[in-house]
């Protein structure tokens, strides 16, 4: 078994999306608001996934589970400070 990478973009796959650069440009206050909204989305999606699973609606449970996972990844992006640019240091 190989060790999992500690690189930020490996741990959080949404970091590879171009839109994440725009999230990094938000003010700290705006980032906090967006993180709060995404946290609500995570909780709601996870609850809907559980409800769907209990009702034997597997495809909808999988859908809501994926929504919750992506919302969680984006929330982690906006909760953490933007990365320091390393241009020219490598």
- Report helix, strand and coil shares of the chain as percent, to nearest 5: 70, 0, 30
Query: Would you give the DSSP letter of residue 56?
Result: T
Is residue 41 in some structural domain?
Answer: yes
Specify the pTM: 0.77
Which residue range(s) make up the domain with 66? 29-81
Which tens digit of pLDDT belongs to each residue from 17-58? 888 889 989 999 999 999 999 999 999 999 999 999 999 999
Is residue 4 in some structural domain?
Answer: no
Which tens digit of pLDDT belongs to each residue from 58-69? 999 999 999 999
Query: Would you give the DSSP letter of residue 10?
Result: H
Is residue 48 in some structural domain?
Answer: yes
Question: Cα 13 to chain center, whole Å?
Answer: 8
Is residue 12 in some structural domain?
Answer: no
Is residue 87 in some structural domain?
Answer: no
How far is it, in rounded angstroms, from Cα 35 to Cα 76?
Answer: 8
Please say if the pLDDT value at position 81 is more than 90.
no
Instruction: Count how many domains the chain has.
Output: 1
């Amino acid at each position: 078994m190989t060790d999992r990478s500690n690189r930020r973009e490996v741990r959080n796959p949404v970091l590879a999306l171009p839109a994440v650069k725009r999230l990094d440009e938000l003010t700290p206050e705006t980032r906090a608001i967006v993180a709060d909204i995404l946290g609500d989305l995570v909780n709601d999606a996870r609850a809907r996934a559980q409800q769907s699973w209990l009702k034997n609606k597997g495809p909808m449970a999988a859908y809501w589970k994926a929504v919750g996972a992506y919302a969680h990844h984006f929330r982690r992006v906006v909760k953490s400070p933007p990365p320091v640019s390393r241009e020219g240091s490598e």
